[in-house]
């Protein structure tokens, strides 16, 4: 089986700043690939390359085994790679179903009489959301009245409905509470079980470990290693992310302070 | 996608059937509607002439040209932008039409067409500058406002050696174009201005576009959150530029109505009107921050304006009081909008 996405030794520099160096990763259908790293580790540069916002200037990027270099987010979208941004996901004052179809509205009629198919819009949005296990009371309510987790879910369901094969989730749990994070992670698992490839960007190993199949650790623009779930425990993951030995030194120092 | 068993489209037990009051309260134009009713009842009681056929025709006429602009400005505001040049644009188009018809000797219809092209061009320029520079439209259109104001006076003085253009009555096509833009129709022996029809028709069309079409969806989206809209493939620049062009075209319509009705255009007309349009749109439920509002609401906002302005005259009060009324009305509208919107969101939770 060819991987949905395969990235081989990609790099990117902005002027003299090397933001990403020799990073490789794989995303398979029905699997979650987690990208972990602290702030400034190069996570956003990597997803910007995957989602077509920026172009890599070293290495190779394959989608379904074919070499690609996206010129725009639209091209990535057309290749089936949808990105759900943390805060760019929805328009708060618009209703759930209008958000769901924004940019790809269903219409009836022709020419100047072309108009929104509101019944179809409402019903499709409701059933697509129900498919994902998101049971909304009323698809006419403004998205602003939903909780943060539910908003992310609407954006995920929209990406799936419009034919995404790979969903990139940029820090979906960063601004959420414990319970809301759980809600989002449940939908991430749901998307995975429906055969999509998921790229989950986070700096929280506790969110990544339960749903992830493989883990890519980034630090200062370079890869610290890529692990299968069987190769690593959550403790090791946390340790690695925080910089291993550095954390131990810090703990030691803290102990001295408190003593 | 596999067909899933759909829950019977249905009534979710968590949604209590919304009461009529709650459903109404969720609409942006409800505050304006209540305000209009209050103003209507108030002047019906204090001014005898207010409710006569002639009185109604007078305040509807006053509301009509303001209303056409308020509706266009409301759409632009929902799209997240302002146009301060809208008021002066009504004068610019009227002057241009008049000059082309009286000085160049063109047929009025051709003059109208050319001034429409001019208006659309200025609208597109406004939109393009706002998109291209990323500056607030408030400042960009303040620039076009001042520039147009200067052009109106300067060019008029150059061409006519005065500050007005007159003589429309003797031009070719005055009769037929006057019939379309400035005639009257009879209802029960009282003549009503045709501008009222334009106002109602334009408001209905704008409401339809906003709520029922793809483009309307995009207007709410670019005003509500332009980056989100762009991320899902909405053409943000095109939507905003078209909205600026719509406002300019509405200004052309009002300019045409004015020049064919009064047959004379003053070079200093239209200044200050831009704020009246914004006020009417806000009274009609538009948020200053964009992404929320209603075309019908803006039309009702203009109606409140017209009723109050003429009602004060009918009641034999000094028209100075109108500004006081306007200020209070605007503050009340903003407060009511705020409360209603919060309530609307709570009701739907």
Q: How confident is the model at residue B14 (pLDDT cuts 50, 70, 90)?
A: low
- How large a percentage of chain B has pLDDT more than 70? 90
Chain B within 8 Å of A94 (Cβ-Cβ)?
Answer: yes
User: In A, which residues are within 8 Å of B15 by CB distance?
Assistant: 137-138
Give me the residue spans of the domains in chain B.
52-339
pLDDT of residue B17: 57
Reported as a single tens digit per residue, the pLDDT across B59-71 is 999 999 999 999 9
Least trusted range by pLDDT, from A50-59, A177-186, B34-43: A177-186
Mean pLDDT calculated for residue range B7-20? 52
Mutation site for A-interface testing, chosen from B227, B231, B236, B346 by largest number of A Cβ within 10 Å: B231
For residue B58, pLDDT beyond 80 = yes
Least trusted range by pLDDT, from A123-132, B23-32, B206-215: B23-32
Q: Which residues pair with A24 in a beta bridge?
A: none
Least trusted range by pLDDT, from A180-194, A231-245, B171-185, B203-217: A231-245
List CB contacts of A127: < 8 A, sequence separation 6 or more.
Answer: B4, B6
Chain B within 8 Å of A98 (Cβ-Cβ)?
Answer: yes
In a domain, A115, yes or no: no
Chain B within 8 Å of A72 (Cβ-Cβ)?
Answer: no
Contact B231 A138 (CB under 8 A): no
Reported as a single tens digit per residue, the pLDDT across B283-326 is 998 988 888 899 999 999 999 999 999 999 999 998 888 888 88
Cβ A124 vs Cβ B3: under 8 Å: no
pLDDT of residue B25: 61
- Indicate the DSSP class of residue B344: H
In a domain, A131, yes or no: no
pLDDT of residue B188: 85
CATH number for the domain running over B52-339: 1.10.3470
Total tally of structural domains belonging to chain A: 1
User: In A, which residues are within 8 Å of B6 by CB distance?
Assistant: 123, 127, 130
For residue B15, give the nearest of A94, A115, A137 by CB distance: A137
Cβ B209 vs Cβ A113: under 8 Å: no
Q: Is A62 helix (H, G, I), strand (E, B) or coil?
A: strand
- Tell which wins on pLDDT, B12 or A44: A44
For residue B344, pLDDT beyond 90 = no
Question: How far apart, in whole angstroms, are the C-alpha atoms of residue A248 and residue B235?
Answer: 51
Question: How far apart, in whole angstroms, are the C-alpha atoms of residue A86 and residue B115?
Answer: 47
Question: How far apart, in whole angstroms, are the C-alpha atoms of residue B177 and residue B174?
Answer: 5
In a domain, A185, yes or no: yes
In a domain, A84, yes or no: yes
pLDDT of residue B15: 54
For residue B215, pLDDT beyond 90 = yes
For residue B87, pLDDT beyond 90 = yes
Backbone phi and psi for residue A169, each to the nearest 5 degrees, phi listed first: -110, 115
- Tell which wins on pLDDT, B125 or B322: B125
For residue B8, pLDDT beyond 70 = no
Q: How confident is the model at residue B2 (pLDDT cuts 50, 70, 90)?
A: very low
For residue A116, give the nearest of B213, B221, B234 by CB distance: B213
Residue of B nearest to A159 (CA): B232
Reported as a single tens digit per residue, the pLDDT across A186-210 is 888 888 888 899 999 888 888 888 8
Q: Is A59 helix (H, G, I), strand (E, B) or coil?
A: strand
In a domain, A243, yes or no: yes
Work out how many CB contacts closer than 8 A connect A with B. Answer: 92
ipTM: 0.80
- Tell which wins on pLDDT, B14 or A146: A146
Contact B231 A115 (CB under 8 A): no
Q: Six-digit token pair at A206?
A: 């506790």
For residue B238, pLDDT beyond 90 = yes
Mutation site for A-interface testing, chosen from B7, B215, B221, B232 by largest number of A Cβ within 10 Å: B232
Nearest in space to B84 (alpha carbons), one of B155, B135, B33, B158: B135
For residue B15, give the nearest of A127, A138, A158 by CB distance: A138
In a domain, A146, yes or no: no
Measure in Å the smallest separation between the Cα of A203 and chain B Cα atoms: 24
Measure in Å the smallest separation between the Cα of B204 and chain A Cα atoms: 14
Taking the CA atoms of residue B229, residue B232, residue B233 and residue B235 in that order, the dihedral angle to the nearest 10 degrees is 0
Task: Return the number of other C-beta atoms located less than 10 Å from residue B349's C-beta.
Answer: 10
pLDDT of residue B176: 93
Task: Tell me the CATH number at A30.
Answer: 3.40.50.300
The rounded Cα A134 to chain-centroid distance in angstroms is: 18
Q: Which residues of B54-89 are buried (b: 16+ CB within 10 A; e: fewer)?
A: ebbbbbbbbbbbbbbbbbbbbbbbbbbbbbbbbbbb
Mean pLDDT calculated for residue range B118-140? 96
In a domain, A193, yes or no: yes
In a domain, A227, yes or no: yes
Backbone phi and psi for residue A65, each to the nearest 5 degrees, phi listed first: 85, -5
For residue B21, pLDDT beyond 70 = no
Mutation site for B-interface testing, chosen from A122, A130, A142, A169 by largest number of B Cβ within 10 Å: A142
Reported as a single tens digit per residue, the pLDDT across A146-173 is 877 788 888 888 888 888 899 998 888 8
Least trusted range by pLDDT, from A41-55, A76-90, B1-15: B1-15
For residue A89, give the nearest of B12, B228, B349 by CB distance: B228
For residue B14, give the nearest of A126, A137, A161 by CB distance: A137
> H helices of B83-136, where?
86-102, 108-133
User: In B, which residues are within 8 Å of A128 by CB distance?
Assistant: 1
pLDDT of residue A259: 64
Q: How many CA atoms lie within 13 A of A50 on its CB side?
A: 34
Question: How far apart, in whole angstroms, are the C-alpha atoms of residue A98 and residue B213?
Answer: 11
Chain B within 8 Å of A114 (Cβ-Cβ)?
Answer: yes
Contact B217 A114 (CB under 8 A): no
User: In A, which residues are within 8 Å of B349 by CB distance?
Assistant: 141, 145
pLDDT of residue B26: 65
- Tell which wins on pLDDT, A75 or B148: B148
pLDDT of residue B275: 92
User: In B, which residues are within 8 Å of A116 by CB distance?
Assistant: 212-214, 216-217
For residue B234, give the nearest of A102, A123, A131 by CB distance: A102
User: In B, which residues are within 8 Å of A133 by CB distance?
Assistant: none
User: What is the residue-averaged pLDDT of chain B?
Assistant: 89
List CB contacts of A27: < 8 A, sequence separation 6 or more.
Answer: A3, A4, A5, A6, A33, A166, A197, A198, A199
Contact B229 A130 (CB under 8 A): no
Contact B345 A142 (CB under 8 A): yes
- Tell which wins on pLDDT, B15 or A108: A108
Measure in Å the smallest separation between the Cα of B346 and chain A Cα atoms: 8
Tokens 């760019």 belong to A88
Q: How confident is the model at residue A89 (pLDDT cuts 50, 70, 90)?
A: low
For residue B217, give the nearest of A116, A128, A144 by CB distance: A116
Nearest in space to A155 (alpha carbons), one of A116, A103, A111, A207: A103
User: In B, which residues are within 8 Å of A77 by CB distance?
Assistant: 233
Cβ A44 vs Cβ A32: under 8 Å: no
User: In B, which residues are within 8 Å of A141 by CB distance?
Assistant: 348-349
- How large a percentage of chain A has pLDDT more than 90? 9
């Amino acid at each position: 089986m060819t991987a949905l996405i395969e990235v081989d030794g990609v790099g990117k520099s902005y002027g003299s700043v090397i933001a990403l160096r020799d990073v490789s990763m794989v995303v398979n259908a029905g699997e979650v690939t987690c990208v972990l790293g602290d702030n400034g580790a190069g996570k956003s540069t990597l997803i910007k390359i995957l989602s077509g916002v920026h172009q890599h200037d070293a290495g190779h990027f394959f989608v379904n085994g074919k070499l690609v270099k996206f010129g725009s987010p639209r091209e990535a979208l057309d290749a089936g790679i949808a990105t759900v941004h943390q805060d760019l996901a929805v328009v708060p004052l618009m209703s759930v179903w209008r958000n769901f179809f924004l940019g790809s509205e269903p219409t009836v009629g022709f020419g100047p009489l072309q108009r929104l198919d509101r019944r179809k819009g409402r019903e499709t949005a409701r059933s697509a959301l129900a498919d994902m296990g998101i049971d909304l009371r009323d698809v006419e309510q403004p998205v602003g009245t939903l909780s943060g987790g539910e908003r992310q879910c609407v954006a995920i369901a929209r990406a799936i409905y419009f034919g995404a094969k790979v969903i990139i989730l940029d820090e979906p749990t960063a601004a959420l509470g414990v319970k809301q994070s759980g809600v989002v992670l449940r939908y991430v698992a749901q998307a995975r079980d429906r055969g999509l490839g998921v790229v989950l960007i986070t700096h929280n190993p506790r969110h990544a470990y339960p749903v992830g199949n493989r883990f890519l650790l980034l630090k200062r623009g370079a890869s610290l290693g890529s692990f299968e779930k069987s190769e690593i425990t959550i403790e090791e993951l946390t340790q690695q992310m925080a910089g291993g030995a550095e954390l131990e030194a810090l703990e030691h120092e803290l102990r001295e302070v408190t003593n | 996608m596999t067909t899933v068993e759909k829950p019977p489209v249905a009534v979710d037990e968590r949604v209590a059937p919304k009461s009529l009051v709650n459903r109404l309260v969720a609409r942006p134009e409800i505050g304006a509607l209540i305000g209009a009713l209050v103003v209507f009842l108030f002047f019906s009681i204090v001014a005898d002439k207010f409710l006569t056929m002639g009185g109604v025709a007078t305040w509807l006429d006053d509301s009509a040209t303001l209303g056409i602009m308020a509706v266009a400005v409301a759409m632009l505001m929902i799209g997240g932008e302002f146009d301060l040049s809208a008021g002066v644009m009504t004068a610019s188009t009227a002057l241009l039409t008049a000059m082309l018809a009286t000085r160049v000797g063109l047929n009025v219809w051709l003059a109208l067409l050319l001034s429409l092209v001019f208006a659309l061009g200025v609208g597109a320029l406004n939109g393009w500058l706002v998109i291209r520079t990323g500056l607030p439209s408030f400042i960009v259109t303040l620039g076009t406002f001042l520039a147009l104001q200067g052009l109106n006076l300067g060019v008029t003085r150059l061409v006519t050696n005065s500050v007005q253009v007159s003589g429309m009555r003797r031009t070719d096509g005055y009769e037929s174009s006057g019939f379309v833009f400035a005639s009257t129709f009879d209802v029960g022996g009282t003549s009503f201005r045709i501008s009222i029809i334009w106002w109602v028709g334009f408001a209905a069309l704008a409401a339809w576009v906003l709520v029922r079409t793809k483009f309307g969806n995009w207007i709410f989206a670019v005003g509500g959150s332009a980056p989100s809209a762009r991320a899902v493939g909405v053409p943000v620049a095109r939507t905003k530029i078209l909205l600026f062009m719509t406002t300019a075209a509405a200004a052309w319509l009002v300019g045409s109505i004015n020049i064919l009705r009064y047959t004379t255009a003053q070079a200093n007309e239209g200044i200050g009107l831009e704020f009246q349009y914004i006020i009417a749109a806000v009274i009609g439920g538009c948020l200053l921050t964009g992404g929320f509002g209603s075309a019908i609401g803006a039309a009702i906002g203009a109606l409140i304006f017209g009723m109050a302005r003429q009602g004060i005259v009918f009641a034999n009060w000094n028209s100075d009081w109108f500004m006081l009324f306007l200020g209070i009305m605007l503050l009340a509208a903003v407060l009511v909008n705020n409360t209603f919107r919060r309530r609307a969101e709570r009701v739907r939770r």
